[in-house]
Amino acid sequence: MKRLLKQPGRLMGLLFTGMSCMLAVPQAQAEHDIRGITQANPTGQFNLYAFPFNMNLPEGTSLYMWGFGDMNSGDGRTHQMQGGGYALPQYPAPTLIVQEGEPVVINMTNYGVPSPVSIVVTGHNVTPTCVVSVMNTDTNQDNCDGLITMEAEVNETVSYSFTAGSPGTYIYHSIGGDNPALHTEMGLLGVMIVRPADGSRTAYGENTGTDYDQENLYLMTEIDPDIHLQMEKGHYQHFTNSDRHAKIWFINGRVFPDLFQGDFNSLFPNQPYESLVLAHPGDKVLVRNVNAGHDSHPMHYHGENLRFIGRDGKMLSSNGTDADLGRSDNTINSAPKQTVDALWTWTGKDLNWDAYGPINTSCTDSNHDMADDFTGALCNDQNCIDLENNRTGALGPDGFDDHNFQYCPDHGKELPVTLPGVGDLTLGGWWSGSPFLGDTGDLPVGEGGLNPFGGYFLVWHSHAEKELTTFDIFPGGSLGSVVIVPPSAPID
């Protein structure tokens, strides 16, 4: 899709054919960015507050949490259509999006967390200021003093200033009070993303080889519900860190299957961020893999290996110009408070069978999006047009269709085995009913139905399989997924 948009002639063609098939195939923005907030609000600064809340999990738990919320009600949100007016305390905290070199100020007021709250930002030297005003008094005249940084007791404000460092992914969280380990456990944590100064849609800047089509956050945390119960009862001294034994595991603050639902879904009022990743074949997916918890997590990415490009906000580079030190893996050994940026691309190359199924000569696909112009159904016509390199635009074949990334050497090849009948199979809810991308098969009544585009769900999950549970219930926990959707399916 991206390549189509680069070519004005084809774009016009697409628009005209798009007119006729608008109902069947809505043409949407084909790229995803991580949702968050910027300083582009009337104050020009981040204004967060800390407050307790309860959040509900799918197995029935109501967890008492402490969270940061956005006092600007999403005025600086990155996506106009989502998050407007959103000001609840949230898990995780609002994702802060800033630019390299940008002066950043986070004013943080504690409106009700019964422990002094603070903010530290990994990889950044932060200057705290105790704010005393009519509204905010330094209640006990201790000048917001704290062990590691300044802390805000209830109704106090601390302002944290720093300059956004090198592009990459960082964590900010509270640490302090009587028990520094308590604050991240209770939910006072979030992600800060620093975008390159040159404004390019890359992880580390123009010409670093880190451009991407889709950008997604994979933030891991874990919770011991016993601690939350003690805090809810006000037993602040009741728990010692040696007793901590996590029993619930999260991605982006949600557990399976809640994490498949959309961003800012009102079913999860305090958990605004989803972790279902959508990608078209050939898309470069930038994964910001963050462990903000206390334990290590081995995140395993199905479907294809990732190539690492950065760690802890630093490009993996020997020369400062490109990510030449990044290797490839399918599992990320995520240490606590470590961030890893990685690129992931699925093409379906070398399956040795046509991922789009048998060639269909009776459908029409004039815009080459693998969908019929009129019905929107899968259309794997006889064409696989490979005249140029999809990445560089250079003349000469690269194996992939120039429009839709279909892998031409496998075009028309049959599936080499016969699948058992549905009576011999157990069918997953996200199974489309067909082995082919973009296709949906006949499923028995009551089966499937959660995969309307006929996508390939490839799960991204913690491979410490114990972590696929929510408080003793399987399935749950940190079981996320990417969905490879056919080129015709919209991604926003």
Site for other proteins, residues 337 to 376, rule: CB under 8 A: 346-353, 355
Closest approach, Cβ 419 to other proteins, in A, equals 7
Closer residue to other proteins in complex, CB, 86/471: 471
Closest approach, Cβ 221 to other proteins, in A, equals 16
E strand map for 144-296: 157-163, 168-173, 189-195, 214-223, 248-251, 276-279, 285-291
Site for other proteins in 52-71 (CB under 8 A): none
CA distance 58 to 477: 10
Closest approach, Cβ 366 to other proteins, in A, equals 27
**Residue 452 contacts other proteins per CB under 8 A:** no
Site for other proteins in 196-225 (CB under 8 A): 209
CA distance 426 to 184: 40
In the chain the first and final C-alpha atoms are separated, in Å, by 13
The answer to whether 396 and 386 have CB atoms below 8 angstroms apart is: no
Site for other proteins in 304-323 (CB under 8 A): 304-305, 307, 316, 318, 322-323
How, if at all, do strands 46-56 and 103-110 pair?
parallel
**Rg, C-alpha atoms of the chain:** 24
Closer residue to other proteins in complex, CB, 294/300: 300
Q: What's the farthest any 2 CA atoms get from each other in the chain? A: 80
Closer residue to other proteins in complex, CB, 146/303: 303
Closer residue to other proteins in complex, CB, 236/353: 353
**Residue 111 contacts other proteins per CB under 8 A:** no
The answer to whether 413 and 352 have CB atoms below 8 angstroms apart is: yes
Closer residue to other proteins in complex, CB, 127/333: 333
Pattern 379-418, other proteins, x by CB under 8 A:
------------------------------------xxxx
Select the residue interacting with other proteins from 468, 485, 489, 491 (CB under 8 A): 468
Site for other proteins in 235-274 (CB under 8 A): 247
Measured CA to CA in angstroms, residue 354 lies from 159, 181, 350 at distances of 57, 52, 9
Q: Which stretch binds other proteins (CB under 8 A): 49-57, 131-139, 357-365, 425-433?
A: 425-433
Closest approach, Cβ 43 to other proteins, in A, equals 42
**Residue 229 contacts other proteins per CB under 8 A:** no
Closest approach, Cβ 483 to other proteins, in A, equals 9
Q: How many Cα atoms within 13 Å fall on the side-chain side of residue 398?
A: 17
CA distance 459 to 188: 28
Closer residue to other proteins in complex, CB, 172/344: 344
**Residue 473 contacts other proteins per CB under 8 A:** yes
Q: Which residue in 66, 34, 33, 61 sits closest to 50, CA to CA?
A: 66
SS3 19: helix
CA distance 395 to 408: 16
How, if at all, do strands 479-484 and 276-279 pair?
parallel
How, if at all, do strands 285-291 and 214-223 pair?
parallel
Closest approach, Cβ 240 to other proteins, in A, equals 19
**Residue 471 contacts other proteins per CB under 8 A:** yes
- Amino acid (1-letter code) at residue 292: A
SS3 31: coil
Closer residue to other proteins in complex, CB, 252/432: 432
Q: Which stretch binds other proteins (CB under 8 A): 46-54, 86-94, 360-368, 475-483?
A: 475-483
Site for other proteins in 6-25 (CB under 8 A): none
Partner residues linked to 307 by β-bridges: 328, 343
Select the residue interacting with other proteins from 24, 132, 377, 427 (CB under 8 A): 427
**Residue 424 contacts other proteins per CB under 8 A:** yes
Provide φ and ψ at 18, rounded to 5°.
-60, -35
CA distance 431 to 453: 11
Q: Which stretch binds other proteins (CB under 8 A): 119-127, 180-188, 381-389, 454-462?
A: 454-462
The answer to whether 347 and 280 have CB atoms below 8 angstroms apart is: no
Closer residue to other proteins in complex, CB, 151/185: 185
**Residue 170 contacts other proteins per CB under 8 A:** no
**Residue 442 contacts other proteins per CB under 8 A:** no
**Residue 430 contacts other proteins per CB under 8 A:** yes
